[in-house]
Amino acid sequence: MSISPARRQAALDALTLDDESLLKTCEVDYFIASGPGGQHRNTTASGVRLTHAPTELSVSATERRSQVQNKGVALERLREGLKVLTFVPKVRRATKPTAGSKRRRLEGKKRTSEKKAQRTIKSGW
């Protein structure tokens, strides 16, 4: 998965912000969360969805019955997602095995081959 440099930079910038400033850069949606929790949860808009426009990252939280608690959980998840976006994978280059490692591998194969050849001599095949 390749992340554009602009999106990575936007994530880095967002991580430096405090919670209130980060919330101001996000679109906040409240919705009715379904699932266990009784009548209170099924009739109030306690679910929270945060969408960070510069990085196009969206997270939601619905497990609590309180909208305020869900907003805090969603903010934590947003920060975790932004950290993931800032990760730069290490460039991997193909390498060839060294002469010594080739020699050791072939010697090991030869030893195994000789062992198996001895089995057939002993058994009389």
Task: Say which residue the tokens 């309180």 belong to.
Answer: 66
Question: For residue 109, with 0-12 CB atoms within 10 Å meaning exposed, 13-18 middle and 19 or more buried, which class applies?
Answer: exposed
Report yes or no on whether pTM surpasses 0.75.
Answer: no
pLDDT of residue 34: 76
For residue 124, is it within any domain? no
CATH of the domain at 66: 3.30.160.20
For residue 109, is it within any domain? no
pLDDT of residue 14: 92
If pLDDT is split at 50, 70 and 90, which confidence band does 1 have?
low
For residue 48, is it within any domain? yes
Mean pLDDT for the stretch of residues 24-40: 82
For residue 98, is it within any domain? no
For residue 122, is it within any domain? no
CA torsion sign for 69, 71, 75, 78 is: positive
Query: Would you say residue 23 has pLDDT above 80?
Result: yes
Instruction: State the Cα angle at 59 between 57 and 60, rounded to 5°.
Output: 160
* Strand ranges, E, within 15-118: 26-31, 47-52, 57-61
The number of distinct structural domains making up the chain is 1
Domain enclosing residue 65, as ranges: 5-85
Q: What is the pLDDT of residues 51-62, one digit of tens each?
A: 999 999 999 999
